[in-house]
C-alpha cells in the first residue's frame, strides 16, 4: 500500500495525538503514590503542552477525592 508510510502511528483522543500506558501497581505501592510518579515523569520528560488523563482505578480515586473535597466545603 503506497499510503502506508504516511499513516499516523498515533491514536487520537479529542483530536490530539495520544498514547495509552497501562500498568499494574507493585505490591505495597499506593495508587496515589504511583499517580504522583507518573505525573512527575510527565512534567520532567514531556513538553509543557502534553496532557495526562488517568483512567480506571486512578480516575475513581481522583473522583472520590473531589467528592470528599466538595462535601467538606
Q: Please, what is the angle between helix 57-72 and helix 31-45, to 10°?
A: 100
Residues 39, 52 contacting (CB under 8 angstroms):
yes
DSSP state of 19: -
Q: Is the pLDDT confidence value at 30 over 80? A: yes
pTM exceeding the 0.75 threshold for the entire prediction: no
Query: Average pLDDT over the chain, rounded to whole?
Result: 79
- 7 or 49: whose pLDDT is higher? 49
C-alpha grid cell for residue 20?
A: 495509552
In which residue are the cell numbers 475513581 written? Answer: 60
pLDDT confidence tier of residue 69, bands split at 50, 70 and 90: low
Q: What is the pLDDT of residue 56?
A: 87
Amino acid at each position: 500500500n503506497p499510503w502506508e508510510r504516511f499513516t499516523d502511528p498515533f491514536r487520537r483522543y479529542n483530536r490530539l495525538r495520544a498514547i495509552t500506558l497501562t500498568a499494574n501497581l507493585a505490591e505495597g505501592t499506593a495508587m496515589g503514590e504511583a499517580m504522583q510518579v507518573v505525573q512527575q515523569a510527565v512534567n520532567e520528560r514531556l513538553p509543557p503542552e502534553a496532557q495526562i488523563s488517568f483512567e480506571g482505578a486512578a480516575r475513581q480515586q481522583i473522583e472520590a477525592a473531589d467528592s470528599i473535597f466538595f462535601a467538606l466545603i
